Amino acid sequence: MSFQATVQSAQGVVTFRLSGELDSRSAPRFHEMITQAVLPAARRLVLQMADLSYMSSAGLRCLVYAHQRAGSGVAIELVGTRPEVAETIRLTGFDRSLTMLEAGARP
């Protein structure tokens, strides 16, 4: 399944909605979206992950890039992450740098 991503920004909250498979082929596109959308004014990043079925280390690096670009004071929330994807994030310890929420916890 191909990777799809949308982004919207309102009142300092940047929300990405991801679907499909985020791997080494699709990661550069998402990386560019992060560069364009995550600006210093961002207060919070929300990633809707429920429809993301696969994520390799290339995708994980995108999440780390978003975290670095936003800055340490900006909260990052992953919503509805599937168990297999969440396991990859936890494996690397990056889950300690963000908040993982159940689906529906954020609009």
Partner 1 sequence: MRNTDRFRLFGDHGMGAVVADLVDTIAGMGRLSRRQAYRLRLAADEITTNIAEHGYHGRRGVVDIEGGVDDDWAWLHIQDNAPPFDPRGHCPGGVPETMHEGGYGLFIAFTGIDHFAYDYFDGRNRNTLLVRRPADAPDGGTDDRHRAAGR
Nearer to partner 1 (CB atom), residue 8 or residue 57 = 57
Q: How many residues bind partner 1 (CB under 8 A)?
A: 21
Q: How far is the CB of 52 from partner 1 (least distance, A)?
A: 9
Q: Compute the distance between CA of residue 30 and CA of residue 22 in angstroms, rounded to an integer.
A: 8
Q: Compute the distance between CA of residue 64 and CA of residue 61 in angstroms, rounded to an integer.
A: 5
**Do residues 36 and 67 lie in contact, with contact meaning Cβ atoms separated by under 8 Å?**
no
Would you tell me which residues interact with partner 1 (CB under 8 A)? 1, 21, 23-25, 53-54, 56-58, 60-61, 64-65, 83-84, 87-88, 91-93
